Amino acid sequence: AKDYELRQYETAKWISTVIRGEPQKEAMRQGFWKLFHYIQGKNEKEMKIDMTVPVTCLVKSGCADFKISFFVPYEHQDSPPQPTDSDVFIEERKAAAIFVRSFGGFASPEKYAEEAEVLSRILRNRGQPFHEDFFYTAGYDSPFKLFNRHNEVWYFKK
């Protein structure tokens, strides 16, 4: 469809942290830095790992906890180094079909919520079953990139 796509993602490991009781923008900032320290060597192998995209944030309706995640690079998928920060963990996300809506510009929590609402409305109108109680935001660009920015919202297909 022109206003969204359906992607099939394989099972993969992500490095994640949950930030509780903060506004989404602050949770993203805190979570990003915790994960960034992990890839900079704050792990049991003291290994530097390449930064990957997207950076995702799990948003659950009516919940003030946000799970921020970095994709573990392919060369570390089999055995990513264990985090030394007790707030950081390795998570395996199972293979899934995901409805994706892309948009440009600088994404705020409000803009992500607006795009997620548009996508959920489209999916409901087309009779596409999806998990409505949560969505992921996905950011692909450094804060220093000014043009041609790429952001997404994801709903998991039922």
Tell me the per-residue pLDDT of 21-80, one tens digit each, with 9 for 90 and over: 999 999 999 999 999 999 999 999 999 999 999 999 999 999 999 999 999 999 999 999
Domain that includes residue 126, residue range: 5-156
* Reported confidence tier of residue 20, pLDDT bands at 50, 70, 90: very high
- pLDDT, mean of residues 128-151: 96
Query: What is the reported pLDDT for 55?
Result: 97
User: What's the pLDDT at 143?
Assistant: 84
CATH number at residue 126: 3.20.80.10
Q: What is the 3-state secondary structure (H, E, C) of the chain?
A: CCCCEEEEECCEEEEEEEEECCCHHHHHHHHHHHHHHHHCCCECCCCCCCCCCCEEEEEECCCCEEEEEEECCHHHCCCCCCECCCCEEEEEECCEEEEEEEECCCCCHHHHHHHHHHHHHHHHHCCCCECCCEEEEEECCCCCCCCCCCEEEEEEEC
pLDDT in tens, 91-119: 999 999 999 999 999 999 999 999 999 99
- Structural domain count, the chain: 1
Residue 1 has pLDDT above 80, yes or no: no
